[in-house]
Amino acid sequence: MIEQNLKELEEKSIYILREANARFKNIAVLWSMGKDSTTVLYLIRKAFLGKVPFPVIHIDNGIDFPESYKFRDELAKKLKLNLIVAKSEIKPEISGFSCCGANKTEALKKVLKEHKFDALIVSIRRDEHGVRAKERIFSNRDKNFKWDYKNQPAELWDDYSSKIENEGHVRIHPLLDWNEIDVWRYIKKEHIPVNPLYFSRNGFRYRSLGCTHCTVPLKSNAKNVDDIIKELKTTTVEERSGREQDKEREYTMLKLRALGYM
Amino acid sequence: MDVYKIVVIGDKDAGKSTLIGEIAILTKSVSEARINEAKKESKKLGKEFEPAFILDAFKEEREKGLTIDTTAMEVSYKDVAFQFIDVPGHESLIKNMLTGASNAEMGVVIISAKQGEGLTCETKLHIELANMLGIDKFIFFINKMDANGYSKEKAVEIWNETHKFLLPFINDLKYIGFVPGSALNGDNILKRSMKISWYKGSSLMERLYDLVKNDKKINKNMPTIITLQGTFEDKIFGKIISGDIKRNEYYYLMPDNKKVLIDEYKKNGSSVSLKISQLDKTDISGKVLVENKNDIIVSDKINAKMFFIKKPEKHFYISFLGKKYKAIFDYKENKKKLVFVNGTINLKEKVVYQSVNKIKELGRFVIYDKNLNFNGFGIIN
Amino acid sequence: MKNDEIIKIADMLQKEPNEANWEKFAKAIKKSGIKYYKIVYVTLKNAEDLTKSYAELFDAKGKLVTKIPIFKRGKGKKVEGATIYLKGLLNINKW
């Protein structure tokens, strides 16, 4: 896995976040207590004088890991976050997917509408999955959260001129150019707190976090950030092989994204 | 590691995706899992293993053998990393091609040596666009050499034709290289191939490596220029695009022509946070701080070379330094789309700009039509 | 025995996983010797399926102490997730 220049990655992420702040009136941040979205919170602090000046949304389906809830409450207090916990229901399945996909979208739509958010900062990375490689830094969603992946706007140089389509919103992706190993290297460098689920207990750890019903741990003895970085340098297992959802075809995932699931 | 972005241009049938896939496999930059996944996909679709399947993430792309959007493939080679950006060739997907090419530093152009293929109109258009977007180093990979027995004649023929095409803008190019090979058979990609004995140059990857290693960045004492993004509490955010920031030095806010002093600043590389008490409550969007007013031009008229996706109209918008401006352009010709035009656009207010060859960030803008739909871009001469 | 109370509350939760019992559980878990948990789950097709999933609770030595449901029966008999009540415990799921 290629290790990029962290200073340059950080610099660009800060630029992107500040662009978003200049262009949108009502921004919110999506947080899942995972390593990527937590890193985004810390990048936001770097960009905005040590503060997180936007509301932080946790879409809670009620069956997240206890460690995640604890991590959430403690960090929200420490960083004085304006935390919005939006409860999502566990709904009947949509196209073979249960739990995570369908119900989170509904809850997110509701929160966005209620608070009139016009932009959402989301922590996806291009290297996570083939489909996510198609995203733009500023990406439009229409009011039904549909992502017209076949007809994306152009994004030239560092011009993120945005036009919100019909009551939709724009997704901001400050981590798009980061690799998995870059995130961990940055976490180490900046001493960013980490959800304990990432560390090994009992010979197993979680490499990626969904909720209790769709995330499977992997065999590992990595007990801290250094161990994880070492492990990433030597293993080639696709990150999300621990998540049940991704054992399905990529195309289905694309459809879910087009429907609005993050 | 520094990652060098390389845009890969070429006709759909020239074998772009195959080339990138093959590079990824040969340099061992892609996991076994991903290769196996691609093999499974190939089998399901009744095709022989396609290295291209390592890239394309869209179902439609795989099944039709057509790239719809950009894909970035990270490859490590010796002590350097490359990001190969595969862009779609089809005219209707030009927006995606422009996006992919705009952030690349170099271009690899793939031309098929197979009879009936060769340098296509589409490829020519893309080379010109890539150059206009800022790419001035190209390596031309003449692919499918295996289709005509690795013949020298065919390669030279394409070589000459390409060179002829490049002549009108050869002065804008810093480097042109040619490598004959075969993506499917791995000839001249990683290592020099014995099958192309008449060719004495290095392989594609070796060429790219030499190019990046020899890329010297001129570090003369550059004048300070800071583009401004917006405000937050009592601070102004911006980006240093030239020179460096010095405290207790006077800067001019342009186009306002206001002399200011920077009280405090905090840098994260080129992203900067400033405290300028004189500018409290001033609208700074689209504006620029300069050390020396002579380094920039202030005007409401811009002479530019522009490219329009759809027919240009008299009234449209440009996005320049993050701000949108209404533009008026007296366009006389009648071409329908994919138009290159040189002309003067008039704005309703003065802006700060510079020739793209002097300060690239101040010499380029995005074009939107009157409904704010993307319609192209412009370069200031 | 240290874990008698939590075992009693676990039984109550099995019969009646309402808010009141969950609150009792949250208080008791802090005083008990329970340290780890494992989620045993089914593929959820709807909220009701959550009643089929459960959690196993273990002490510091890794010995199974008791089992509890991981849902809450809210107002109007609606099923909601309740894993938040296990805050403070550590996961030892495998595969």
How many Å separate Cα A179 from the centre of its chain?
13
Same domain (yes/no): A43, A114: yes
Are A108 and A168 found together in one domain? yes
Structural domain boundaries enclosing B284: 225-295
> Do A117 and A224 have their domain in common?
no
CATH code for the domain in which residue B167 is found: 3.40.50.300
Helix (H) or strand (E) holding C21: helix C19-31
Domain housing A205: 195-247
What gap in Å lies between CA B151 and CA B381, rounded to an integer? 42
pLDDT at C45: 77
Q: How many domains does chain B have?
A: 3
Flag whether C95 is in a domain.
no
Task: For residue A26, count other CB atoms closer than 10 A to its CB.
Answer: 13
Provide the pLDDT confidence category of residue A168 given band limits of 50, 70 and 90. Answer: confident
Residue C18 included in any domain: yes
pLDDT over 90 at A6, yes or no: yes
- Nearest Cβ partner for A98 among C45, C70, C94: C45
User: Which of B213, B245, B268 is the endpoint of a domain?
Assistant: B213
Q: Domain check: are B312 and B172 in the same one?
A: no
What pLDDT was estimated at residue B65?
Answer: 55
pLDDT band at A2 (very low <50, low <70, confident <90, very high): confident
Between chain A and chain C, the number of residue pairs with CB atoms below 8 A apart is: 82
The pLDDT, as a whole number, for residue A128 is 72
Q: Which residues of chain B have pLDDT under 50?
A: 58
Same domain, A232 and A254: no
Lowest mean pLDDT among A129-138, B370-379, C30-39: A129-138
- The complex's ipTM works out to 0.94
Buried/exposed B339-359: b ≥16 CB within 10 Å, e otherwise: bebebebebeeebbbbebeeb
The answer to the question of residue A190 being in a domain is: no
In this structure, how many other beta carbons lie within 10 angstroms of the beta carbon of residue A113?
Answer: 12
**Tokens for B201?**
């140059």
With both helix axes pointing from N to C terminus, report the angle between B94-102 and B121-133 in degrees, rounded to the nearest 10.
40
CATH classification at residue B346: 2.40.30.10
Contact C41 A70 (CB under 8 A): no
Find the domain containing C60 and state its range. 4-90
Q: Indicate the residue of C39, C85, C94 with minimum beta-carbon distance to A212.
A: C39
Position A162 scores a pLDDT of 66
Residue B134 phi, psi (nearest 5): 125, 0
Q: Domains in chain C: how many in total?
A: 1
Task: Please answer whether residues B370 and B317 qualify as being in contact, where contact means their C-beta atoms are separated by less than 8 angstroms.
Answer: yes
User: Which of B213, B236, B262 corresponds to the end of one domain?
Assistant: B213
Query: Quick one: pLDDT at residue B218?
Result: 66
Q: Which of A89, A92, A202 lies at the smallest CB-CB distance from C94?
A: A202
Report pLDDT for B275.
93
Same domain, B376 and B321: yes
For residue B268, give the amino acid letter. N
C-alpha C57/C-alpha C54 separation (Å) is 10
Residue in chain A lying closest to B74 (CA): A2
- Nearest C-alpha in A relative to C83: A63
Asked if the Cβ–Cβ distance from A2 to B76 is below 8 Å, we say yes
Q: What confidence tier does A247 reach under pLDDT thresholds 50, 70, 90? A: very low
Whether A25 and C47 have beta carbons less than 8 Å apart is answered as no
Please, do chains B and C touch (3+ CB pairs < 8 Å)? no
Query: Nearest Cα to B67, choosing from B77, B56, B59?
Result: B56
Q: Are residues A94 and A144 in the same domain?
A: yes
Do residue A200 and residue A166 come from a single domain?
no
- Which residue matches tokens 């709904």? A91
The domain total for chain A is 2
pLDDT single digits (tens) A142-164: 877 777 766 777 899 989 976 77
**A22, A153, A249 member nearest B95 (Cβ):** A153
CA dihedral (C86, C87, C89, C93) in degrees, to 10, reads: 70
Contact B299, B351 (CB under 8 A): yes
> Do residues A10 and A64 both lie within one domain?
yes
| B244 in the same domain as B355 | no
- Judged against a pLDDT cut of 50, whether residue A244 lies above it is answered with no
Q: What pLDDT, in 10s, does the model give residues A86-127?
A: 998 877 655 444 445 557 888 899 999 999 999 999 998 877
Do B309 and B291 lie in one domain? The reply is no
Which chain A residues touch C95 with a CB distance below 8 Å?
204, 216-217
Q: Which of B161, B187, B213 is the last residue of a domain?
A: B213
Query: Which of A99, A103, A104, A201 to mutate to test binding with chain C, by most C CBs within 10 Å of its CB?
Result: A99
B20-44 tens-digit pLDDT = 989 989 998 877 777 887 788 778 8
DSSP H or E segment with residue B75? strand B71-77
| Listed residue (B216, B193, B204) closest to B82, CA to CA | B204
Q: Is residue B260 part of a domain?
A: yes
